[in-house]
Amino acid sequence: MLKTLDILIGATTVVLLFSMAVTVIMQALTNFFSTRGRHLRRGLADLLQQLGIPEEKIAEKIADVLLRHPIVSEGNGKLGTVVKREEFIKLLLDFASGDRAANLNEECKKALVEMLQNGGISDPASVLANIQSLELQIEASDPQLASNVRETLAIVHGASSHFVARVHSWYDQTIDRVSQRFTNRVHLVTVAVSAAVVLGVQLDIIAVVDRLSIDEQFRTAVVDAASKQYANDTTPAKAISGPYYNLLSEAGLITLPTNATWKQQLFEPRKIPGMLLSVFLLSLGAPFWFGVLKNLLQLRSNLAQKDDSQRSQRQSGQQDGSADGGGQNANATPSWLIGERGDLAAIG
């Protein structure tokens, strides 16, 4: 049982090691290309078109300016990745009032003002001032309320209009669709990055499992390293380390592009099934595999303790049975055989 568990722990450790590499690459790509912000901008542009902005280009420009606003932006001019419904409403009113219209061209500002007028807000500046005044009054009268609750109440009572009603009706659904599209895109890119990592090191998880099952020294080294790593760190952030790569490289389980035989080994048919399986496993993500490794190590610890306890009981029982004086002879007839069995020699 412990051997099978050790094989699972070793294979999970190897998958976690390269899953962390995929996670690091994905985070770098997502931050560099502002993937989450771009999806949010697309979603807000769609919402603005639903609210009354006629052209897609104008809606995207307004959404871009909104996500680069200092309140929303992540800094250095990067697109924001989170914008609350109340922020969305107040920033649009702010842009239309003229105070923050410097980043909007006349065409965009005109379209925004028309959209608000059609939604029942003819004077965005006075409506925004009314909202801010109501926020102060609500905070003074009910300071225990959360800030988002105060903002919502102020908007509902200070800017009651068809525009606000439509935003409240459609905003959450829009953000849900944005999250869904972003998740689907990330999954596709994660599979592509996983394939690149697997091809780069020629990771064959089937070969890793075979090696773990027959090489006790290698299996012990991987399991001990995983146990020490988990004991010292409760997050998978340090799972990537030189010793792991060296151990796998010395065992011949990965082949780096610097190896002269890398291209030749890449096209070996026996590696293809294991590499395809590796791509699928890596795409599940490092957090998933860290949770699996954590559970397996806890299970192994419990089984090891139980095995030690049972071994101790067996050894104690044997010592008591063979002891002189007071202990039963190890060769004594068991109690269940004692009784009237008759004369067995008379049979026949």
Residue finishing a domain among 122, 156, 179: 179
Domain for residue 292, yes or no? Answer: yes
What is the tally of structural domains in the chain? 2
Query: What's the pLDDT score for residue 240?
Result: 45
Sequence-distant (≥ 6) Cβ neighbours of residue 83 within 8 angstroms = 40, 44, 66, 67, 72
Query: What's the pLDDT score for residue 25?
Result: 92
**pLDDT by 10-residue block (mean), the chain, 348 residues:** 84 89 91 92 95 92 91 84 93 82 79 93 92 92 90 91 94 94 94 93 90 86 75 49 70 78 81 92 91 86 72 61 51 53 54
Q: Quick one: 11 and 82 in the same domain?
A: no
Two tokens at 236? Answer: 């998978």
Q: Quick one: 44 and 172 in the same domain?
A: yes
> Tens digits of per-residue pLDDT, 199-233?
988 899 999 999 888 888 888 888 887 777 665 55
| Distance in angstroms (rounded) separating the CA atoms of residues 138 and 154 | 8
Query: What's the pLDDT score for residue 320?
Result: 54
Domain for residue 347, yes or no? Answer: no
Residue finishing a domain among 158, 179, 200: 179
Domain containing 239 equals 2-28+188-303
Residue finishing a domain among 150, 179, 208: 179
Query: What's the pLDDT score for residue 228?
Result: 72
Amino acid identity, residue 56? E
In three-state secondary structure terms, 76 is coil
| Distance in angstroms (rounded) separating the CA atoms of residues 30 and 19 | 16
Q: Quick one: 132 and 6 in the same domain?
A: no
Q: Quick one: 54 and 165 in the same domain?
A: yes
Q: Quick one: 170 and 52 in the same domain?
A: yes
Domain for residue 22, yes or no? Answer: yes
Query: What's the pLDDT score for residue 237?
Result: 42
Query: To 10 degrees, what angle do helices 85-97 and 106-118 make?
Result: 120
Q: Quick one: 53 and 167 in the same domain?
A: yes
Domain for residue 332, yes or no? Answer: no
